[in-house]
Amino acid sequence: MPLHDTAHTFRAGHRLRVQIAGASWPRRSRNLHTTTVPELGTLAEAVVARHTVHHDAARSSRLEVGACGS
């Protein structure tokens, strides 16, 4: 899944954490994981999302983090 370019500076020794999520409430509209428009749906309609990160030879996943000189 291609993401938009962004730039952050990390000092030597800092760590990067990747979080996989189906929503970013309250930053973005809630995601009920249904076809209902989020603002019109109710919590009773919401379903649990299941995310899969593949990590075998046939279906590999990766995160590319580039580095540039200072």
Residue 65 Cα distances to 19, 46, 61, 62, angstroms: 15, 34, 13, 10
- Say how far apart CA 16 and CA 22 lie, in whole Å: 20
- Say how far apart CA 58 and CA 6 lie, in whole Å: 29
Report CA torsion sign: 56, 59, 61, 66: positive
Residue spans of the domains in the chain: they are 18-57
Please list the pLDDT of the chain residue by residue as tens digits (70 residues).
666 767 777 788 888 888 887 777 777 777 888 888 878 888 888 888 888 888 888 988 777 777 776 5
